[in-house]
Amino acid sequence: MASVKFAVVDANDFLSKKQAADPELAADWAKLEELYNKKLWHQITIKLQEMVNYPSQQSGDNLIQLYNNFITVFENKINPLSLVEIIAHVVQQFTDKKEAIAFLEKVEGKVKMNAEALALCKVLQGQIYLEQLIDMDATEKIIEELEGTLEDADGVTPVHGRFYKLAAEYYRVRGPMDKYYRAALRYVGCARGGEDLALPERRACALRLALAAVIAPTVYDLGELLAHPILESLEGTPDAWACELVKAVAAGDIVAFEKIRTQAPHPELHKADRQLRQKIAILCLMEMAFNRTSAQRKLTFAEIAREARVPRDEVELLVMKALAEKLIRGHIDQVSECVSVKWVRPRALNRAGAAALARRLDTWCTAVAGAASLLSRAAPDLLTL
C-alpha cells in the first residue's frame, strides 16, 4: 500500500540514484538536480510538470516516490496551483483510494492560502469519490461547496473546466437533468467549445447535451445549444438526428419531433412523454408570440390548440404553466378564450430569428420616424392653441 511520508533520503542522493537506475531519463534527472541546486523553483516546476506525463513515470509508484523523496523538500517554495496540478498525477498511483483522499486533505492545509489550488484539491477528491469510491453524497458536498466560490471568481480559471466536468458527471448519474445540461455546457465552454476534447468524447458530449436539452423540463433556451459548435461534431454520423431533434423542439414542432423520435434509439425520449409534449407545446406558444408584432399578440385558444397540437380544454393550463415559469407575461381572457402576450423570455436566436427581429426593428424605426415627422408638422399648430 502506497503512503506519503516526509523525505527519507537527501534530495541530491535521490536524484543521483535515479540517474544511475534510469539511463533513458538520466538527462532529465540531471537537469532536475541542476535546477534544484540553483534553487530555480519556477524552472523546476515546469520540468516536473513535463516529467509527470512521461509514460515510464506513470507506472507503479514512481510519482509517489518522487513526491516523497524530492518534491516535499521544496513544495512550499513553488506555485500552489502548479503543486496541486503535479499532485493530480501523483494521486492516481495510490492503490488505496481512501488513502489518496487522506493525502489530498493534508495537501489542502499546505495550499489553503491559494483559492484556486484549494478548489482544485477538492475537485480531485470529488473525482475519486465519484469514480472510484462511488460516494455520491461526498461528491455532492464538494460540488455544493465549490459552486458558489467558482461562480464568484473573476474570469475563468484553470480549475473551472475540471469542476464543471465533475459536476456534469455527477448530475448525469444522479440528476436533475437540467443541472447536468448547464454544467456540461459550461464544461464544453471551458474546453474552447469542445475543440480541446478528443473527437470521441466531443461526439459523446454533444449527444448527451442534445438529449439533456430536450428532456430537461426547465430548459427552454435551446437556441444556445443550437448555436454551439460542439453540435457540428455529430454531422455525418449516425447520431446526426440529435441536431434535428433539438431544432424541432426549439421550434415547438411536435410533428417533426415525433417523426425524429420514432427513429431515435434512446428510450429516454419515450419515458416522459406527457412532460415532453407539454414542453414542446409551451415552446410552440412562445414561438407564436415571438413571431407576431406587439399589436398582434392576442392568441385565441383555437389557434394555440391547432399550432401546439393540444386539446382545446388543455390550452388554459398550458398558458398558466408558461406564465408560472415566467416564460411569457400577459393575461388570459376566459370569456373570449384568448391570451394577450406582452412579453416573451429572451432566447438565443438562429439566423432566421435574428433576421426577423431586424426586420421588425426596421419597421419600428420607420414608424417612429413617421410619428416624429407628424409631430414636427403639427407642433406649430399645437403651440398656437
The predicted-structure confidence for 76-107, as pLDDT tens digits, reads as follows 999 999 999 999 999 999 999 999 999 999 99
Residue that is written with C-alpha cell 393575461 in the block: 331
pLDDT exceeds cutoff 90 at 356: no
pLDDT over 70 percentage in the chain: 96
Q: Which residues contact 337 (CB under 8 A, 6 or more apart)?
A: 300, 301, 302
- Which 3-state string (H, E, C) describes 109-127? HHHCCCHHHHHHHHHHHHH
Chain mean position to CA 118: 21
Give the residue ranges of DSSP H helices in the chain.
11-21, 26-37, 41-51, 62-66, 72-74, 80-90, 97-111, 115-131, 136-151, 158-174, 177-190, 199-215, 223-226, 241-250, 254-261, 268-271, 273-290, 301-308, 315-324, 351-383
pLDDT of residue 6: 42
pLDDT of residue 290: 87
Residue that is written with C-alpha cell 382545446 in the block: 312
pLDDT exceeds cutoff 90 at 371: no
Chain mean position to CA 39: 40
User: Within 13 Å, how many C-alpha atoms sit on residue 27's CB side?
Assistant: 1
Instruction: Give, in degrees to the nearest 5, the angle at Cα 209 between 206 and 215.
Output: 145
The predicted-structure confidence for 224-269, as pLDDT tens digits, reads as follows 899 889 999 999 999 999 999 999 999 999 999 999 998 887 888 8
Identify the burial level of 380 via C-beta atoms within 10 angstroms of its C-beta, where 0-12 means exposed, 13-18 middle and 19 or more buried. exposed
pLDDT class for 381, splitting at 50, 70, 90?
low
Q: Are strands 328-333 and 298-300 parallel, antiparallel or unpaired?
A: unpaired
Distance in angstroms (rounded) separating the CA atoms of residues 180 and 213: 10
Rounded mean pLDDT, 2-27: 77
Distance in angstroms (rounded) separating the CA atoms of residues 80 and 41: 12
Chain mean position to CA 165: 7
The predicted-structure confidence for 16-73, as pLDDT tens digits, reads as follows 999 998 889 999 999 999 999 999 999 999 999 999 999 999 889 999 999 999 999 9
